[in-house]
Amino acid sequence: MASDHLTQAVAFLRAHKITHLATAADNVPTVRVMSVAHVEDTGVIWYASLVSSEKVAQIRRQPRVAISAFADGTTVEIRGRADVITDAEVKRARWHESWQPFFPNGHDDPDYVLITITPDEVTVY
């Protein structure tokens, strides 16, 4: 993976939070719009999700995913491995108050999980 592409992708995703996350199960792809919660300097991308969602079930069966984002004439494409994070301490540390409508019990909501994407391919056009 080209480090300049990784650096560009991190900066882009910090400025443009709306992405498309593609998962697959049983050779059937699904793409949905997701808002990035956080991007680490290493390129690891964080999302919040419902544990009961189809995407979490798909990730648990097939953790290879793809992300794409487009804004201001720039496209970012990422392929990598997704992990579902259920650790209560991590969920508390990453909690955003803006998520309250989706998780009425806050960071202790049993349906609240985090998803991390660790990239292994990054392309910026």
> In the chain, how many domains are there?
1
User: Maximum distance among all alpha carbons in the chain?
Assistant: 41
Per-residue pLDDT, averaged over 77-104, amounts to: 96
CATH code: domain of residue 107: 2.30.110.10
Is 1's pLDDT higher than 60?
no
Residue 59's domain spans which residues? 3-124
For 6, 21, 27, 120, the CA distances from 77, given in Å and listed in that order, are 10, 10, 20, 11
**pLDDT at residue 59, rounded to an integer:** 97
Q: Give the pLDDT score at 2.
A: 60
Whole-model pTM above 0.85? yes
At 6-59, the pLDDT tens digits run 999 999 999 999 999 999 988 889 999 999 999 999 999 999 999 999 999 999
